[in-house]
């Protein structure tokens, strides 16, 4: 994907039914082909009249918001964040190569993968309304969780983002209705499988 205007909808790195039975085909289709596509379209429409921003990367648009004209600041924040956060989410659910250093680091830090999962789940459940929970590391290898509202993105120069979970209702409502906890458990099943995170 070209990382500047005009942004394109990246294809999913797996088929829409690949995450069954944990996340259903229809949810994946709508989430990628409608929700993410809309963020991409709206980001391009927002940036179209501003050629000075056409060379900016997605990360730059998110991190240098102060340099963006006031009239489009909120639209850029929401739509660039919507694109970044969704790509991050879709790609982390793809099968990964074995990453045992990460697994060992999490086990050492939290005592077990199970403790890590319980802690992460608390954050994901605590998001009020629409947003994300994130698992990240700082430069010294200290792990933490945070939540962000809407499509805010916790990108900065000192943290490495490891996982996010989208807890907007569109991520799970068709399958799980109001039961966010069930969706979170299903998401962990995918992540633990794809990243080989087992005690």
- Which residues sit at the interface with Mn ion, rule CB under 5 A? 166, 168
CB of 36 to Mn ion, least distance (A): 7
Name the residue number minimizing CB distance to Mn ion.
166
CB of 89 to Mn ion, least distance (A): 7
CB of 132 to Mn ion, least distance (A): 9
Give the tokens for residue 35.
């929700």
For residues 25 and 27, give the distance between their C-alpha atoms in angstroms, rounded to a whole number: 6
Length of the chain: 199
CB of 179 to Mn ion, least distance (A): 17
CB of 112 to Mn ion, least distance (A): 29
The three-point CA angle 134-8-19 to 5° equals 50
Q: Which CB, 46 or 151, lies closer to Mn ion?
A: 151
156 vs 20, 63, 109, 137, 182, CA distance in Å? 34, 7, 23, 12, 31
Coil vs helix vs strand at 166: strand
The three-point CA angle 12-90-37 to 5° equals 65
Q: Which CB, 120 or 168, lies closer to Mn ion?
A: 168
Q: Which CB, 23 or 47, lies closer to Mn ion?
A: 23
Give the tokens for residue 182.
């069930």
Q: Which CB, 82 or 197, lies closer to Mn ion?
A: 82
Q: Which CB, 137 or 165, lies closer to Mn ion?
A: 165
62 contacts 77 by C-beta, under 8 angstroms: yes
């Amino acid at each position: 994907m070209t990382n500047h205007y005009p942004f394109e909808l990246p294809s999913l790195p797996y088929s829409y039914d690949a995450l069954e039975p944990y996340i259903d085909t229809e949810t994946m289709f709508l989430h990628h082909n409608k929700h993410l596509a809309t963020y991409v379209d709206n980001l391009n429409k927002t940036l179209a009249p501003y050629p000075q921003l056409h060379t900016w990367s997605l990360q730059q648009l998110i991190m240098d918001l102060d340099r963006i004209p006031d009239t489009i600041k909120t639209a850029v924040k929401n739509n660039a964040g919507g694109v970044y956060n969704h790509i991050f989410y879709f790609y982390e659910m793809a099968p990964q190569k074995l990453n045992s250093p990460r697994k060992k680091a999490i086990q050492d830090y939290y005592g077990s993968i199970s403790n890590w999962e319980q802690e992460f789940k608390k954050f994901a459940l605590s998001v009020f309304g629409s947003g994300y929970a994130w698992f990240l590391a700082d430069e010294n290898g200290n792990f933490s969780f945070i939540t962000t509202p809407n499509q805010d993105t916790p990108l900065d120069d000192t943290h490495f983002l490891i996982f996010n979970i989208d807890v907007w209702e569109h991520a799970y409502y068709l399958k799980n209705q109001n039961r966010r906890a069930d969706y979170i458990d299903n998401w962990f099943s995918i992540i633990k499988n794809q990243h080989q995170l087992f005690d």
